[in-house]
Structure 1
């Protein structure tokens, strides 16, 4: 691992940027208040700032602004209502039920409001017993309101000063994820790689790339300055994002028969050179991503054309020694692999050229795309959507019920005098933080929170025991706060560790000498909250991942069929396919594959008795990945503009579409006519084998030419590879159909039981 590069990635990321912004918005007013001797009296001011800051999720400016405004008003009202009702036990329980259910249910409108709802429940937890507001409820609530409003003001100032900052960071993050994907690909060119493990790594990385692309689409395609303005910076950002998607397509299309490649070329130096070259390219893409995140100047170090020529020289040298009629197909395979690497190189060179911000290139950008069609679907804010989810079939409804019950149990437990719990809020906060719609996520976060809390408490205890200098403690507090807010989204256990440290230090500034009490309460509350969460997640209306398998399989099967048919239509030139339609079909296939893969990964964390047909689901995920990758590879030839009359595309389309339709019909439980079954067995009349035999005969009769054309590939090599791709897609589609037949037999058996 390149630790220097990893550190730069983190220091230029949106996470540290957001963490610093929230931390400074909290700490600067706190220092001023402390200097005036008012910090204890105005403690609710920085508390309000931190809560509103946590609701600021990445996205378009308007949505972020509206969510922050909503948070300011809502959090103030929750704090006021909770403080006013603290003396009425019945009202408190009613409050937990109403607020707990409502603020969990609003997750139906998307992740942004789901996060807002969770923080709203944290605010409720903090104010539920009234220990923060004291006797003057209205004054304390107003101070809290001012703290909430302060972060909104900070947000407006910062985003006006740097309108492109977030978009540049998320686009840069896309390139960082693509670089990691390329590193996994490079491992295939090492000696005796673990192919199954690498495939799983690729699929997991595809999920991460998909999530980043979805977030980036929303930010880039819904930010007015980028979509509407004609500045060089806005056009460059748009083009850089679109090119990152094209690069991902190129990386996805570089799927090869790696096992055969290793068997034939494993002992040569060629694979090692390719491996090193791909790693070098990944490092350059990483540097590009870092420069985008940090708004830095990117300088390319490697001359790809020179390095690529060395690989071709090695290829031709090895070819001159081993080439014969018997090894013809092997060298054709390797030639095709080198051409795909060349295509990736060309795409990366284009990206670097665009990033150089050539004004002429920027002004010529006109995609002609309807960006709204590429955005993730979001539910509109109307009451019908909310009400329609009042059903046990709705995952949001079941989650809201679980959260409400868990909060009630947590609050009741906190009232047991025998436990000696001073306040209930940390048990409730633990429940809200851990309990997620998916059991696997809840289980994972439960363990992470426990580890982070214990480690953080021990470290904080040691710090407070040995450090007495207020300035040093303040620096540690600020650093812990920045790290907590920076790591919260992607390193939860570390975020909890730093959160525990800064909470201990904060309480020490307010009430010095209470470290033992804080230590005991924090650990006890975390254990109780974790136990309640685990029991509720397991026993109260759980949503197991296996219940989502069939729906995700259906979507993936349907989108792969549509993607394949469109690619074949490009070969057949039946209709003029516009770029937008192609991009949409490709996007749907890749996203549905990622969602299916994500579901499988979560399924692994479910209890053993709920991991139903795990191996079968894994086989379906693998075959779906291969169909999507092979179709993407096929699309590169389809878009080349070349003609391939030697291949019977019409019958191949009918044959493979019929096989994919058989799988789809099984999944959707539709009757399939006999004609489709017949079509899946037709034999396309290709001429590739005849041409291949003819070429072998020519090689045996004449001396082998040592002509070297590094960046050219013969027509025979192209049609052979297209033919192999079609055969691979058909074979994988047939395997997938058999997998589904087995899966549905199992489903039927379980239903009867």
Structure 2
């Protein structure tokens, strides 16, 4: 592992940048208040700042600003009502029901408002028992409101000074994810690879790339200064992001029969050479990502021209020594892989050129695309959407009932003082943090929260026991806050650990000497909240992932069919719409990632809810292969070459018929005889076999000609690889159809439960 690169990736990321901004916005007022000796009295000011800061999700400036303004309104309203009714237990219970339902339901409008809703419930937990408000409620609310508005001002100032910073960091993170994806793919070429493990890693990484691309699309395509291409920076950022999506497709095209490759070339070093070179390319992509995140210009790390020349030299040496009529087809596959590697290398070199454009050249850069077509779908802010989700058939509504029930039980439990619980708020905060719409995420967060809290509490206890110098404690507090906010999205255990440390240290500054009480309360409250969250998520209207599988399988099958149709159309028509093709490519990748993500969550659910697990697993695997093979197929159409020897119309009818059978079976429809007949068509590619036989005869009768042009590939090799890819797509589609047929037959044979 390159520890230097890993550290740079972390330090330059949007998460660390955001964490430093939140920490400074929270801590600087604390220093001023502490200087005047009024920090304890005005503690709600930094608390309000940190709450509003946590609702700031990546995205376009206008949406972020509006969400922060809405968050402030919600927080102040919730704090006001909670403070006014805190002495009337019946009203408090009613308040929990109303706020619990409303602030959970607004998640139907997307992640941004879901974050506002969750933090509004945290504000409710803080103000529910009046522990932090004191006797003067309105003074406390004014202080809290001022703290909320303070972060909005910080946000407005920072984004005005650095309008492109977030977009640049998010685009950089896209490249870093692609670098990790390529590193996984490189491992297929190492000695004795674990194919099942690597396939799982590839699918998991595809999910991460899809989620990040969706977030980045919203940020880049809805940021006015970038879309209008008014500046050099905006044009470069737009092109760098679009190039990252094209690079993603090229990386997907390296799908091959790796087991056959390993068997064919196990006695040579060529596959290891490919593995090493792909890792070099991965480091170059990482270098581009880090440069984008840090706002610097990237320069190549390696002499890729020389390294690629050496790789091609090793291939040609091996070819000249070992090529025969028996292994010709294996060398054709290997030659095609090297051509794909050439194209990835060219793409990376092109990205470096775009990155280093000067101002004059950059003014001519333009995307030529209708960017609205690439935007992620998002619910519009109207009451009808909310009203339509007030139904038990809505997963959002069921989640709202679960979280309201859990908060209700948590509050009632705290009233009994059974275990000497100091305050209500930590139980409610922990329930809000743990309980998520998906059972699998709730289960995972529950354990991570518990382990993180215990580990953090033990570390904090040790720090406070052995260190008594306020300067050192304050430094640890700052670092803990930065690390907590940096890791909150990706490393929940570590985020909770550092959160626990900074909470302990914060309370110690406010009320020294109470570390034993804080330690006990945090551990006990977390355990109680975890038990409540787990039981409620399992018992109260759970939404199991298997109920989503069929719809996601339908969507993936439909998008893969449309994607294949758009690709093969490029071979049969003179002119095709590149924009339309890219939209269909995007939809296929998103549908595949959504299906894969749902399957991954299903694995974490109780065994009795893992319905048809093997079928879904096979469907995910075959869908992944169809998308990857279609991406490989698409690369042959980009040079405007003609391949009259291949019967594309025949293949189109044959493969579409097979894929349409899958869609019809998923819809519960019967397959007509026409589709069955179409899928049995034999495309007229016989001339390829004749050409291949002729080439094998030449090899047997003549000496091998030492041709060493790495940028050229024989027409026969391209024909053979196109034919093989089309056969692979058909075979995988056929396998997928058999999987669904088996699933249907088992479902029909199973008697209904009485």
- TM, length-normalised to structure 1: 0.99
Alignment partner of 1:685 is 2:675:
no
Which residue of structure 1 aligns with residue 456 of structure 2? 456
Question: After TM superposition, which residue ranges in structure 1, 4 or more long, deviate above 4 angstroms?
Answer: none
How far apart, CA to CA, are the structure 2 residues paired with 1:655 and 1:326?
30
Alignment partner of 1:100 is 2:95:
no
How far apart, CA to CA, are the structure 2 residues paired with 1:15 and 1:743?
43
Which residue of structure 1 aligns with residue 88 of structure 2? 88
Alignment CA distance shift 1:263-1:567 (3 Å): same
Deviation of 1:698 after TM superposition, in Å, equals 2.2
Deviation of 1:401 after TM superposition, in Å, equals 0.4
Alignment CA distance shift 1:747-1:548 (3 Å): farther
Deviation of 1:225 after TM superposition, in Å, equals 1.1
Structure 1 residues 420-569: aligned runs within 5 Å: 420-569=420-569
Alignment partner of 1:589 is 2:566:
no
How far apart, CA to CA, are the structure 1 residues paired with 2:699 and 2:509?
85
How far apart, CA to CA, are the structure 2 residues paired with 1:69 and 1:707?
67
How far apart, CA to CA, are the structure 2 residues paired with 1:616 and 1:25?
51
- Asked whether the 8 Å contact 2:104–2:114 carries over to 1, the reply is yes
- Asked whether the 8 Å contact 1:125–1:428 carries over to 2, the reply is yes
Give CA deviations for 1:316-373 in whole Å, capped at 9, x if unaligned.
1111111122221121111111101101111111011111123344222222211111
- Asked whether the 8 Å contact 1:179–1:282 carries over to 2, the reply is yes
Deviation of 1:493 after TM superposition, in Å, equals 0.8
Deviation of 1:104 after TM superposition, in Å, equals 0.2
Deviation of 1:705 after TM superposition, in Å, equals 1.2
Deviation of 1:100 after TM superposition, in Å, equals 0.3
Alignment CA distance shift 1:743-1:140 (3 Å): same
Structure 1 residues 254-293: aligned runs within 5 Å: 254-293=254-293
How far apart, CA to CA, are the structure 2 residues paired with 1:502 and 1:702?
76
Which residue of structure 1 aligns with residue 392 of structure 2? 392
How far apart, CA to CA, are the structure 1 residues paired with 2:472 and 2:125?
31
How far apart, CA to CA, are the structure 2 residues paired with 1:357 and 1:409?
60
- Asked whether the 8 Å contact 2:297–2:355 carries over to 1, the reply is no
Alignment partner of 1:27 is 2:22:
no
Give CA deviations for 1:236-275 in whole Å, capped at 9, x if unaligned.
0000000000000000011111111111112212111111
Which residue of structure 2 aligns with residue 570 of structure 1? 570
How far apart, CA to CA, are the structure 2 residues paired with 1:271 and 1:672?
44
Q: Which region of structure 1 is more displaced relative to structure 2, 355-364 or 339-348?
A: 355-364
Alignment partner of 1:318 is 2:308:
no
| Uncovered stretches (5+) of structure 2, i.e. residues with no partner | none
Alignment CA distance shift 1:115-1:748 (3 Å): farther
How far apart, CA to CA, are the structure 2 residues paired with 1:149 and 1:539?
40
Count matched residues: 752
How far apart, CA to CA, are the structure 1 residues paired with 2:707 and 2:224?
54
How far apart, CA to CA, are the structure 2 residues paired with 1:364 and 1:583?
22
Which residue of structure 2 aligns with residue 670 of structure 1? 669
Alignment CA distance shift 1:223-1:750 (3 Å): farther
Deviation of 1:750 after TM superposition, in Å, equals 5.5
How far apart, CA to CA, are the structure 1 residues paired with 2:222 and 2:275?
39
Deviation of 1:435 after TM superposition, in Å, equals 0.3
- Which secondary structure does the structure 2 equivalent of 1:704 belong to? coil
- Asked whether the 8 Å contact 1:49–1:147 carries over to 2, the reply is yes
Which residue of structure 2 aligns with residue 620 of structure 1? 619
- Asked whether the 8 Å contact 1:567–1:635 carries over to 2, the reply is yes
Give CA deviations for 1:573-607 in whole Å, capped at 9, x if unaligned.
1x632111000010011110111111111111001
- Asked whether the 8 Å contact 1:232–1:357 carries over to 2, the reply is no
Which residue of structure 1 aligns with residue 653 of structure 2? 654
Alignment partner of 1:110 is 2:110:
yes
Which residue of structure 2 aligns with residue 357 of structure 1? 357
- Asked whether the 8 Å contact 2:247–2:347 carries over to 1, the reply is yes
- Which secondary structure does the structure 1 equivalent of 2:418 belong to? helix
Deviation of 1:751 after TM superposition, in Å, equals 7.2
- TM, length-normalised to structure 2: 0.99
How far apart, CA to CA, are the structure 1 residues paired with 2:629 and 2:197?
19
Which residue of structure 1 aligns with residue 710 of structure 2? 710
Give CA deviations for 1:367-421 in whole Å, capped at 9, x if unaligned.
2211111111000011100000111111100000000000000000011132211
Give CA deviations for 1:298-322 in whole Å, capped at 9, x if unaligned.
2212121111111111111111111
| Uncovered stretches (5+) of structure 1, i.e. residues with no partner | none
How far apart, CA to CA, are the structure 1 residues paired with 2:621 and 2:106?
35
How far apart, CA to CA, are the structure 1 residues paired with 2:107 and 2:43?
30
Structure 1 residues 11-50: aligned runs within 5 Å: 11-50=11-50
- Which secondary structure does the structure 2 equivalent of 1:418 belong to? coil
Alignment CA distance shift 1:505-1:377 (3 Å): same
Alignment CA distance shift 1:749-1:28 (3 Å): farther
How far apart, CA to CA, are the structure 2 residues paired with 1:733 and 1:537?
37
Deviation of 1:747 after TM superposition, in Å, equals 3.6
Alignment CA distance shift 1:400-1:748 (3 Å): farther
How far apart, CA to CA, are the structure 2 residues paired with 1:6 and 1:703?
50
Structure 1 residues 122-141: aligned runs within 5 Å: 122-141=122-141
Structure 1 residues 18-417: aligned runs within 5 Å: 18-417=18-417
- Which secondary structure does the structure 1 equivalent of 2:189 belong to? coil
Deviation of 1:749 after TM superposition, in Å, equals 4.9
- Asked whether the 8 Å contact 1:354–1:361 carries over to 2, the reply is no
Which residue of structure 1 aligns with residue 610 of structure 2? 611
- Asked whether the 8 Å contact 1:100–1:407 carries over to 2, the reply is yes
- Asked whether the 8 Å contact 1:325–1:700 carries over to 2, the reply is yes
Alignment CA distance shift 1:94-1:602 (3 Å): same
Deviation of 1:135 after TM superposition, in Å, equals 1.1
How far apart, CA to CA, are the structure 2 residues paired with 1:655 and 1:661?
10
- Asked whether the 8 Å contact 2:440–2:605 carries over to 1, the reply is yes
- Asked whether the 8 Å contact 2:107–2:113 carries over to 1, the reply is yes
How far apart, CA to CA, are the structure 2 residues paired with 1:84 and 1:479?
37
How far apart, CA to CA, are the structure 2 residues paired with 1:304 and 1:78?
59
- Which secondary structure does the structure 2 equivalent of 1:188 belong to? helix
How far apart, CA to CA, are the structure 1 residues paired with 2:366 and 2:747?
50
How far apart, CA to CA, are the structure 1 residues paired with 2:561 and 2:282?
32
- Which secondary structure does the structure 2 equivalent of 1:752 belong to? coil
How far apart, CA to CA, are the structure 1 residues paired with 2:125 and 2:63?
26
How far apart, CA to CA, are the structure 1 residues paired with 2:426 and 2:724?
60
Q: Which region of structure 1 is more displaced relative to structure 2, 239-248 or 222-231?
A: 222-231
Cα RMSD (Å): 1.1
